[in-house]
Structure 1
Amino acid sequence: MSHISTPRLPRSAAVGAVVATALAAGLLVAGSSAASADEVRIHDIQGATRTSPLLGQQVGDVAGVVTGVRGYGSKGFWIQSPDGTADGDAATSEGIFVFTGSAAPAVRPGDAVRVSGTVGEYVPGGVRSGNQSLTQLTKPTVTVESSGNALPEPVAITATSVPDRYAPAGDPARDGSIDALPLRPRAYALDRYESLEGMNVRIGSSRVVGATDPYNELWVTVKPHENANRRGGAVYGSYSAQNGGRLQVQQLAPVSQQPFPKADVGDVLRGTTEGPLDYNQYGGYTLAARELGDVQDRALERERTREQGKGELAVATYNVENLDPGDPQAKFDALAEAVVANLASPDIVALEEIQDDNGAKNDGTVSAEATLKKFTDAIVAAGGPRYAWRSIDPENNKDGGEPGGNIRQVFLYNPERVSFTERPGGDATTPTEAVRVKGRAALTRSPGRVDPGNAAWENSRKPLAGEFVFRGRTVFVIANHFASKGGDEGLTSHHQPPRRSSEEQRLLQAQAVNGFVKDIREAQRNADVVVLGDINDFEFSGTTKALTDGGALRAAITSLPRSERYSYVYQGNSQVLDQILTSPGVGNRFSYDSVHINAEFAEQNSDHDPQVLRFRP
Structure 2
Amino acid sequence: MTGFRYRDVNAAPRAAFLYPRLAIGLLLSLGLAACEPTPMPGPVAQPPVAKGPPRSIGDVQGPAARSPYEGQTVTVQGVVTGNFVSGLEGFFMQDASGAEDGDRATSDGLFVSWKRDAQPKVRRGERLSVTGRVVELGARAPTLTALVDARIEVLGRAAVQATTLSRAPARAADWEALEGMWLRLPGPLVISGNANLSRFGELHMAFGERLRAPTDIASPGAKAQAVEDENRRRGLIIDDARGSEYPNRLWFLDPPLSNENPLRAGSLVYGVEGVLDARHGSWRLQLTEKLGRIEQAPRPAMPVLPKGLRLVSYNLGNLFNGNGRGGGFPTERGASSRQEYQRQRDKHVAVLAALQPDIAALSEVENEPLDERSALGDLVAALNRALGEAGDYRAVVGDSPGGPIQVALIYRAGRVGVEGEAVTLTTGPFAHGSRPPLAQGFIDFPSGRQLTVVANHFKSKGSCPESGNGEAGDLDAADGQGCWNAKRVASARALDLWMKSDPTGIDTPHRVLLGDFNAYTREDPLRLLRSLGWRDALPIRGEDLRHHSFVFNGQAGSLDHALVSPSLAGAITAALVWQINSDEAEVFDYNLERRPADLYRAEPFATSDHDPLVMVLDLERAAQ
The answer to whether residue 240 in structure 2 is matched with residue 251 in structure 1 is yes
**Residues 1:35 and 1:141: Cα distance change in structure 2 (over 3 Å):** closer
The answer to whether residue 468 in structure 2 is matched with residue 479 in structure 1 is no
- Which of 376, 380, 387 pairs up with 1:376? 380
Structure 2 Cα separation of the partners of residues 461 and 256 of structure 1: 39
Q: Which runs of 5+ in 2 are unaligned?
A: 21-48, 219-223, 258-262, 322-337, 465-476, 589-605, 620-624
Q: Which amino acid aligns with 2:363?
A: E
1:41 Cα deviation after fit:
3.5
- Provide the identity percentage: 26
1:286-332 deviation line (CA, Å, top 9, x unaligned): 111111223534350323133552xx221111112122224342322
Structure 1 Cα separation of the partners of residues 479 and 64 of structure 2: 18
Give yes or no for contact 1:366–1:393 (8 Å, CA) kept in 2: no
Structure 1 Cα separation of the partners of residues 365 and 114 of structure 2: 44
Structure 2 Cα separation of the partners of residues 6 and 375 of structure 1: 29
Structure 1 Cα separation of the partners of residues 461 and 277 of structure 2: 25
Name the residue aligned to 2:472: none
The answer to whether residue 584 in structure 2 is matched with residue 601 in structure 1 is yes
1:349 Cα deviation after fit:
0.9
1:92 Cα deviation after fit:
2.1
1:277 Cα deviation after fit:
1.2
Structure 1 Cα separation of the partners of residues 583 and 342 of structure 2: 23
Structure 2 Cα separation of the partners of residues 6 and 39 of structure 1: 41
Name the residue aligned to 1:8: 13
Q: Which amino acid aligns with 2:275?
A: P
1:213-261 deviation line (CA, Å, top 9, x unaligned): 32222233322xx4799xxx99963324444433221222685475343
Name the residue aligned to 1:264: 264
1:477 Cα deviation after fit:
1.8
- Which of 166, 175, 179 pairs up with 1:193? 175
Name the residue aligned to 2:90: 76
**Residues 1:367 and 1:536: Cα distance change in structure 2 (over 3 Å):** farther
The answer to whether residue 547 in structure 2 is matched with residue 565 in structure 1 is yes
The answer to whether residue 593 in structure 2 is matched with residue 588 in structure 1 is no
1:46 Cα deviation after fit:
2.8
Q: Which amino acid aligns with 2:578?
A: V
Structure 2 Cα separation of the partners of residues 538 and 12 of structure 1: 27
Give yes or no for contact 1:219–1:247 (8 Å, CA) kept in 2: yes
Secondary structure at the residue paired with 1:517?
Answer: helix
The answer to whether residue 449 in structure 2 is matched with residue 447 in structure 1 is no
- Which of 36, 44, 55 pairs up with 2:51? 36
1:576 Cα deviation after fit:
1.3
**Mapping for residues 48-447 of structure 1, pairs under 5 Å:** 48-55=63-70, 57-71=71-85, 74-100=88-114, 106-123=121-138, 126=139, 131-137=140-146, 139-146=148-155, 148-150=157-159, 152-159=160-167, 161-163=168-170, 188=171, 190-210=172-192, 212=194, 213-215=197-199, 216-223=201-208, 226=209, 237-238=217-218, 239=224, 240-241=226-227, 242-243=230-231, 244-252=233-241, 255-256=247-248, 259-261=251-253, 262=257, 263-270=263-270, 272-281=271-280, 284-298=282-296, 300-307=298-305, 309=307, 312-325=308-321, 326=338, 327-341=340-354, 343=355, 345-356=356-367, 369-383=373-387, 385-392=391-398, 394-396=400-402, 398=403, 406-423=404-421, 446-447=422-423
Secondary structure at the residue paired with 1:462?
Answer: strand
Structure 2 Cα separation of the partners of residues 154 and 317 of structure 1: 49
**Residues 1:378 and 1:367: Cα distance change in structure 2 (over 3 Å):** closer
Q: Which amino acid aligns with 2:358?
A: D
Structure 1 Cα separation of the partners of residues 506 and 62 of structure 2: 65
Secondary structure at the residue paired with 2:347?
Answer: helix
Give yes or no for contact 2:407–2:455 (8 Å, CA) kept in 1: yes
Structure 1 Cα separation of the partners of residues 131 and 481 of structure 2: 37
TM-score of the aligned structures, taking structure 1 as reference length:
0.73
Structure 1 Cα separation of the partners of residues 58 and 440 of structure 2: 63
Structure 2 Cα separation of the partners of residues 268 and 567 of structure 1: 20
The answer to whether residue 438 in structure 2 is matched with residue 464 in structure 1 is yes
Structure 2 Cα separation of the partners of residues 69 and 191 of structure 1: 26
1:159-193 deviation line (CA, Å, top 9, x unaligned): 3x533xxxxxxxxxxxxxxxxxxxxxxxx2x1122
**Residues 1:245 and 1:307: Cα distance change in structure 2 (over 3 Å):** same
- Which of 537, 542, 545 pairs up with 1:556? 537
1:502 Cα deviation after fit:
4.2
Structure 2 Cα separation of the partners of residues 376 and 295 of structure 1: 43
1:211 Cα deviation after fit:
5.1
Structure 2 Cα separation of the partners of residues 35 and 395 of structure 1: 66
- Larger mean Cα displacement after TM superposition, 375-384 or 194-203: 375-384
Between Structure 1 and Structure 2, how many residues are aligned?
Answer: 508
**Residues 1:570 and 1:209: Cα distance change in structure 2 (over 3 Å):** farther
**Residues 1:139 and 1:580: Cα distance change in structure 2 (over 3 Å):** same
- Larger mean Cα displacement after TM superposition, 39-48 or 201-210: 39-48
Give yes or no for contact 2:267–2:295 (8 Å, CA) kept in 1: yes
Structure 1 Cα separation of the partners of residues 526 and 372 of structure 2: 30
Name the residue aligned to 2:32: none
Give yes or no for contact 1:531–1:581 (8 Å, CA) kept in 2: yes
**Residues 1:6 and 1:601: Cα distance change in structure 2 (over 3 Å):** closer
Q: Which amino acid aligns with 1:162?
A: P
TM-score of the aligned structures, taking structure 2 as reference length:
0.72
